Amino acid sequence: MSMAHQTKHRLGRRQLLRNSAALAAFGLLPRMSVASAMDSAPLEPIKVLFDTDIGSDIDDAVALAYLVLRQDLQLLGITTATGEAAKRAALARQITQQVGLSIPVLPGFEAPLAIPQRQRIAQQAIKLPSTVLQAALKTHNPDLAIDFMAETIRSNPGEVTLLAVGPFTNIARLFEREPGISLLLREIVIMGGKYSDYPTPWGPTEWNAIVDPHATDTLFRLAECPIRAFGLDITWQLSMTPEKVRAAFGQHPLLKTVLAWSEVWFAERDLLHFHDPLAAACINSPDLCAYTQGDVQVDLNSPNTAGITTFTPNPDGNVRIATGVDHKAFFSKFFGTFFVKGAT
């Protein structure tokens, strides 16, 4: 068992049950899950590459905390995208090192393919120790991140799930430089786009899709493997207030780290939405959501619509969009990972 997996078991059973009961009281875990979620993980964990813009919205860090503790997922490496990619890599490395997980964490491409940068800084990096910030690279070679992705996928043909939860710049660069490499992936899982008229504050747009719209288009055009897409219309339905986040996250050492970073987010916003954690959780529990098969087109016609995604049902399409989510099952799975031994 790796050190990352051992971390999950450091709390004694009594403390685990006590924390779980407290979460159930907050309505974050069904009470029955404390006693029922004690079965073991699959023998062969799913291999995952994680591409993220951690450091802006707090949900990337929440998703990474989940990933490093799951026994049924094997995190092979992390790449970061958008402005201050090296600081984003430093944030990701703080989480992996906290659980003793030694994996590659590489800063990737910062600039979008064809438009000006809309996400220049990693706000949460202010919470990193000064020694870590000083060690963060001022410059880096983003092609090394693409090299790593390509080599990892080729070394594990048909086994890797590429989880992309930021603007898709690195993914587009990979697909353009390595034609056909997506055929070697098990699956691409993304948080990005919006695929219905469910009301959200920004109409038909979604941040990951519009920050680099040409990369979003490249992803959907060039991917030759199955894609599962979790749009803003679904992930927006999963949220917690700062008060509930503080009460729940304060009970686990890894979530305490994320909680400290979240104060940067909550200084300007009043909710945590579990956008990226839902995509991560559905890698090994796809039945948390309902899906529809089809194709996705990306609008590049004008600056005002660039990056807007449109879904067309098609039984032969390679994209499955999430069309509904089981809220209670998601929160039970997510918090069970931290507070219930052997949670599924």
Percent of the chain exceeding pLDDT 90 equals: 79
The answer to whether residue 44 sits within a structural domain is yes
Question: In this predicted structure, what is the pLDDT of residue 31?
Answer: 42
Rounded to the nearest 10°, the torsion over CA 93, 284, 321, 78 is 20
The answer to whether residue 220 sits within a structural domain is yes
The answer to whether residue 154 sits within a structural domain is yes
Number of CB atoms found within 10 A of residue 220's CB? 22
Distance CA 86, CA 133 (A): 9
Q: Which pLDDT band, with edges at 50, 70 and 90, does 141 fall under?
A: very high
* CATH of residue 192: 3.90.245.10
- Give the mean pLDDT of 142-155: 98
**Into how many domains does the chain fold?**
1
Question: In this predicted structure, what is the pLDDT of residue 29?
Answer: 54
Tens digit of each residue's pLDDT (9 = 90 or more) over 230-248: 999 999 999 999 999 999 9
The answer to whether residue 275 sits within a structural domain is yes
Question: In this predicted structure, what is the pLDDT of residue 11?
Answer: 39
Tens digit of each residue's pLDDT (9 = 90 or more) over 60-101: 999 999 999 999 999 999 999 999 999 999 999 999 999 999
What are 185's two structure tokens? 């992936």
Tens digit of each residue's pLDDT (9 = 90 or more) over 286-341: 999 999 999 999 999 988 889 999 999 999 999 999 999 999 999 999 999 998 75
Contacts 24+ apart (CB under 8 A), 85-89: 85/109, 85/110, 85/140, 85/142, 86/136, 86/137, 86/138, 86/140, 87/55, 87/122, 87/125, 87/128, 87/133, 87/136, 88/52, 88/53, 88/54, 88/55, 88/122, 88/125, 89/136
State the SS3 of the chain. CCHHHHHCCCCCHHHHHHHHHHHHHCCCCCCCHHHHCCCCCCCCCEEEEEEECCCCCCHHHHHHHHHHHCCCEEEEEEEECCCCHHHHHHHHHHHHHHCCCCCCEEECCCCCCCCCCCCCCCHHHHHCCHHHHHHCCCCCCCHHHHHHHHHHHHHCCCCEEEEECCCCHHHHHHHHHCCCHHHHCCEEEEECCCCCCCCCCCCCCCHHHHHCHHHHHHHHHHCCCCEEEECHHHHCCCEECHHHHHHHHCCCHHHHHHHHHHHHHHCCCCCEECHHHHHHHHHHCHHHEEEEEEEEEECCCCCCCCCCEEEEECCCCCEEEEEEECHHHHHHHHHHHHHCCCCC
Question: In this predicted structure, what is the pLDDT of residue 13?
Answer: 45
Question: In this predicted structure, what is the pLDDT of residue 28?
Answer: 59
The answer to whether residue 13 sits within a structural domain is yes
The answer to whether residue 344 sits within a structural domain is no
Q: Which pLDDT band, with edges at 50, 70 and 90, does 20 fall under?
A: low
Residue 33 clears pLDDT 60, i.e. is over it: no
Instruction: Tell me the average pLDDT of the chain.
Output: 89
The answer to whether residue 292 sits within a structural domain is yes
The answer to whether residue 207 sits within a structural domain is yes
Domain region containing 11: 3-339
Alpha carbon 211 to chain centroid distance?
17
Question: In this predicted structure, what is the pLDDT of residue 303?
Answer: 81
Q: Which pLDDT band, with edges at 50, 70 and 90, does 30 fall under?
A: very low
Sheet of 160-164: strand order equals: 105-107, 73-80, 46-52, 160-164, 187-191, 227-230, 319-325, 289-298, 309-313
Contact between 83 and 121 (Cβ < 8 Å) = yes
Tens digit of each residue's pLDDT (9 = 90 or more) over 96-120: 999 999 999 999 999 999 999 999 9
Integer CA distances (angstroms), 93 to 65, 72, 128, 167, in order: 11, 21, 11, 20
Question: In this predicted structure, what is the pLDDT of residue 305?
Answer: 85
Tens digit of each residue's pLDDT (9 = 90 or more) over 34-43: 333 333 445 7
